[in-house]
Structure 1
Amino acid sequence: MKPGNWESVLSLLVKSETVLKITTQTDVTRTTFELEGKLAGPWVELLKECWRKTAGGNGPVRVLLCDVTFVDEQGKSLLADMYRHGAELEADGCMTKAIVEQIMRGERR
């Protein structure tokens, strides 16, 4: 392989490492989404689809952001939309706490 190609391969590997793990727990009182990784790019749509499938089903929604390492603008917008529709957002890191506080300054529907 030519030296320049390694940079392309490395770039591709780094991009493919950007993932979001969504663990869903549903009980009789609520649905909880536990997020790990980066809420960005195509993963925002994945979370949105998970949320849509459970909306109106088993009561309130809780979103745990404790293991989220990055949130892009689309991710922030989705979290704000979820909050406006009654979701509880829970964070413990400096970045995610700041994002949640900013979202909570808005109003719920």
Structure 2
Amino acid sequence: MKVKNVMVRIKSLEDVFEEAKDVMKRLEKGEKVKKHEGISFENLDVMRKVLTEERLRILKTIKKEHPSSIYELAKILRRDMKNTFDDVQYLAQVGFIEIKKTKEGREKATPIVNYDKILLEIPV
């Protein structure tokens, strides 16, 4: 089984803009541009605010237990439903979780983690 990873990078806003400008120039010239997948943060403090211990526990639980809904996830975690919902929505917005909506009678939002590892890249 192939291990899937999500890459987390620390990049300044200037670096992001420079990379975007470089990509635009290469596209204008008709060159192929390699797709970069992953999530970037401006600095470690921002990343730490997003990937708290509790949110990492949510990611691990989704990966291991495969809950069919956010409600089920909250029950497994023994957490308040609203706080779990808010964290799941935030992690989905950032790109760490995919939410699959299903309609089996009542609409469900199934949280999905489709990778095995989070790799951190920090330039020095």
* TM-score for the superposition, normalised by structure 1: 0.29
Task: Name the structure, 1 or 2, with higher relative contact order (CA <8 Å, separation 6+).
Answer: 2
Larger radius of gyration: 2
Higher strand share: 1
